[in-house]
Amino acid sequence: MIVDCAVYRDGRRAEEPAGLAEALRTARGFGGSFLWIGLHEPTGEELARLSQEFGLHPLAVEDVLSARQRPKLELYRDSLFLVLKPVAYDSPPGRVRTGELMLLVGDSFVISVRHGDVNPLDGVRERLEHRPELLRHGPAAVMYAVSDAVVDQYLEVAARLQADLGELEEAVFTPDGRAGGDTAGRVYAFKRQVLRFRRATGPLTDPVERLAGTRMPFVPEGSRPFFRDVADHLTRAGDQVEALDRLLSDILSAYLAQVGVQQNDDMRKISAWAAMAAVPTMIAGVYGMNFAHMPELHHPLGYPAVLALTAAASLGLYRFFRRRGWL
């Protein structure tokens, strides 16, 4: 369950704690110290033990166990509860994967809980330990570093989605038809991935703005500029997501219009060929009725004359449709 556990004193990692209760007492016994516990998919029994040791709110524990939360920031009596949705992008097959990351921040402790295989925390603790001036801000520094890592990952995923969307756009409008027969399905599938990405980025805006602009327990005044930086990066990611969604809608509309024009062109060609085929069909139908007194029936040039009339009428229709651009 526990990926890493350490006490930080004056911005530097201290001795390894012998137990959680002792580690918390040590962190609270020294000014400028805090305990950081990293967990991965803990069980209900393990969370119950932590809740007893740290006095976690039952609703926060329930949310951690369910692991189906939207990004949010909850303020309880003795703790802050922040939910983040890290994302990753696999290309190919062009699929956005999401995980869940929760931070419980209280008096001299921060607990990070990760669900899923998307791990934005890789290297975060190590980078923080090389910045003691940042770690001196306490648990708020961990909240900032984790949020910043998640939002930076958003920008990377947005850039990769933009690159793949450029390839899809080129395939849709290429003259040699590389897009294939299910172009609309490909565009809709890509739009679903962008929607999944938006569900991770959009709801996080309000929690980050609250951390950056309002007074919050366990978030010192000097930590707010760091969250304003995260909010700025998140705004950039949100703008890129909006641009992706609008461009996808434009691509789909343009493709459907292109298909409509192509279908109209095909219908004109079919109609032109049907009109040219109707002339000999009509003449042949008249002479195929076998009446005794048919026009030109006994004339020696009657048959060649009918054939010549048929050819002339068909040729005249062909030239007419050709000039109109139907063929």
Q: What is the pLDDT of residues 170-188, one digit of tens each?
A: 877 766 544 555 777 788 8
- Supply the pLDDT for residue 178: 47
- Supply the pLDDT for residue 75: 93
- Supply the pLDDT for residue 290: 67
Structure tokens given for 152: 């930076």
- The CATH fold assigned to 261-323 is Methane Monooxygenase Hydroxylase; Chain G, domain 1 (1.20.58)
Crossing angle of the two packed helices 44-54 and 58-66, in degrees rounded to 10: 150
Eight-state DSSP code of residue 141: H
Q: How far apart are CA 57 and CA 156, in angstroms?
A: 35
Lowest mean pLDDT among 10-19, 108-117, 154-163, 222-231: 10-19
The alpha-carbon radius of gyration of the chain (Å, integer) is 35
Residue 5 near residue 38 (C-beta atoms within 8 A) = yes
- Supply the pLDDT for residue 211: 92
Q: How far apart are CA 2 and CA 6, in angstroms?
A: 11
- Encode pLDDT of 38-76 as tens digits: 999 988 888 888 888 888 999 999 999 887 889 999 999
Residue 83 near residue 63 (C-beta atoms within 8 A) = yes
> Sheet harboring 109-115: ordered strands across?
12-13, 2-9, 33-40, 109-115, 100-106, 79-84, 72-75
Q: Is residue 207 left, alpha or beta, with left meaning phi > 0 and alpha meaning psi from -120 to 50?
A: alpha
pLDDT band at 294 (very low <50, low <70, confident <90, very high): low
Residue 73 near residue 207 (C-beta atoms within 8 A) = yes
Going from N- to C-terminal start, the domains of the chain cover 2-258, 261-323
Q: How far apart are CA 316 and CA 321, in angstroms?
A: 9
Residue 67 near residue 30 (C-beta atoms within 8 A) = no
Q: Which CATH architecture has domain 2-258?
A: 2-Layer Sandwich (3.30)
Q: What is the pTM of this model?
A: 0.78
Kindly tell me if the per-residue pLDDT of 120 is higher than 60: yes
Tell me the residue ranges of DSSP E strands in the chain.
Answer: 2-9, 12-13, 33-40, 72-75, 79-84, 87-90, 95-98, 100-106, 109-115
Residue 151 near residue 230 (C-beta atoms within 8 A) = yes
Q: How far apart are CA 48 and CA 60, in angstroms?
A: 11
Q: Which residue has the tokens 């139908």?
A: 285
Residues in CB range of 96: below 8 A, 6 or more apart: 87, 88, 89, 157, 161, 193, 194, 196, 197
Kindly tell me if the per-residue pLDDT of 292 is higher than 60: yes
- Supply the pLDDT for residue 295: 65
Q: How far apart are CA 306 and CA 289, in angstroms?
A: 15
Lowest mean pLDDT among 76-80, 110-114, 252-256: 252-256
- Supply the pLDDT for residue 144: 94
Lowest mean pLDDT among 167-181, 226-240, 277-291, 295-309: 167-181
pLDDT band at 291 (very low <50, low <70, confident <90, very high): low
Q: How far apart are CA 303 and CA 295, in angstroms?
A: 10
Which whole number is the average pLDDT over 198-213? 92
Average of per-residue pLDDT values in the chain: 85
pLDDT band at 296 (very low <50, low <70, confident <90, very high): low
- What values do phi and psi take at 185, rounded to 5? -65, -40
Q: How far apart are CA 265 and CA 262, in angstroms?
A: 5
- Supply the pLDDT for residue 269: 83
Lowest mean pLDDT among 111-115, 160-164, 179-183, 284-288: 179-183
Q: Is residue 94 left, alpha or beta, with left meaning phi > 0 and alpha meaning psi from -120 to 50?
A: left
Q: Which residue has the tokens 């805006």?
A: 205
Kindly tell me if the per-residue pLDDT of 122 is higher than 80: yes
Closest CA to 219 of 129, 115, 125, 147: 147
